[in-house]
Structures are given as structure tokens and as C-alpha cells.
Amino acid sequence: MTDHPTALMLFAAGFGTRMGALTKDRPKPLIRVMGTPLIDHALTLAKAVEPRQIVVNLHYMADMLADHLKPHGSVVTTLEPDILETGGGLKAALPLLGPEPVYTLNPDAIWAGPNPLQMLRTAWDPSRMDALLVCVPVSQTVGYSGSGDFTVDPGGQIQRGPGMVYGGAQIVKTDGLADISDRAFSLNLLWDRMLAQGRLFAIPYPGRWCDVGHPDGIQLAEILLTESVLVDPDV
């Protein structure tokens, strides 16, 4: 067993109801941005950190998404008969992920800048951290209308409050999930326990980030990616 992540969880089980008619004939992870499904944008980020295994949880239109993922040899899919939310989904996947800390990634966002998972790998310090989140300053978000989830102090510890939005990428220790008896629950429940112990940390994302959780987010994400390529052809 190691204190560093060797596996990655992609959350892909949601209904995508905010996408309206776009998810009537496909699951949200197969919605395309710049001609590429959201799940493939996420897999590109994931494979860059070379996890031994990528686990994707499925529920809505699971067969369609499973067929799409078959060519990706390192990807294992797991079917959730019920919606378990992020915490319950991660807990259910632990037999596939193993006991080490894991990367988790939400596929419904587009990142314009450095790979957030590579940033996490560099900054992860298991002696101080039970979870390390990538948070985006609200001023650097696109398609997001909230005030943020967290504040971050100079040492990287976070508290609930406005200013930074969780971008959907993290490294998290999973042993605390055993103490949560609920079957379906949000990872916020685990984070709050870590926060109370001073073990919840974040790194600010230096680039821009787009929420693709609603139909307008598709065009916004495409504009963001186009602008990023014009500024930096290597993005």
C-alpha cells in the first residue's frame, strides 16, 4: 500500500437533467465539445497521470457509455443500479480502486491551462492532507454563476465560503468512507469531517475553467478552448 494515488475515479452516473433535451438520447458524458465527448476530454487528462486503472461509474444510458469506453483498455466500468451521489459512488467502487488515495475527476468541466491532475500529483502531501482539491477563483470561471465553495489560506487549508469553486478534480484518502453508513451521500460529508480536523487542502487553478453542466456551457467551453489555442498552441 502507498500513500500516493495509483487509480482514478471518473463520475459518470448522473442523469444530466440540467442539459435538457440534449440528454434525452445520450448520457451527459457523451455530449460533444469541439467534436469530442466530455468523457474523452476527461480521459485525456486522466491518462496523463498514468493511473494503473481508471474506474467509471455508470447509471443513465449505461450501455451506450460502456460501449463508447470499450476501446480504452485501462478503463473499468461499474454499473450503479441506483444513484449513489459522489460519496456513495466512490465507496461502492473501492473494491476496484484499492485502498490507496485516489484521483477523482468530474467529466462535466473543461480546463484551459495545466492538467489539474498533474498539479495534484506534484502538490500532494499525505502527511498533512486527507484530501487535496483543485479550486478555481470565481473570476477565472466561465458559465458558472455562483459565489464559490471555499476560501483558501496561504498554506492551502480551506474553509467553507465564497471565492473559489471546486473544479471537480482531487486526490482523496478513502479510508474515512468506512465510517459513513449512508449508501448514497455527497463527498461533502467526508470533506466536512476532514475540514474539522484541519486535513482538507486545495490548490488554486492558474488557468480558466468552464462548467458544462447546462446547454449554454457547450458553446462557452468551445469559445474558451478556441481562445486558449490562439494564445498557446500547446494547450
| Domain range summary for the chain, segments of one domain joined by + | 7-231
Residue 194 cell numbers, joined: 476532514
Stated pTM of the model = 0.93
Residue 58 cell numbers, joined: 455508470
Tens of pLDDT along 85-118?
999 999 999 999 999 999 999 999 999 999 999 9
Tens of pLDDT along 37-84?
999 999 999 999 999 999 999 988 888 999 999 888 778 888 888 889
Per-residue pLDDT at 189: 97
Torsion angle of the four alpha carbons 123, 193, 77, 70, in this order, in degrees rounded to the nearest 10: -30
Burial class (CB in 10 A: 0-12, 13-18, 19+), 201: buried
Rounded CA-CA distance 23/39 in Å is 14
Per-residue pLDDT at 229: 64
Residues 152, 204: contact at Cβ < 8 Å?
A: yes
Tens of pLDDT along 4-24?
999 999 999 887 778 788 788
Tens of pLDDT along 147-202?
999 999 999 999 999 999 999 999 999 999 999 999 999 999 999 999 999 999 99
Q: Given CATH 3.20.20.70, say whether it is the number of domain 7-231.
A: no
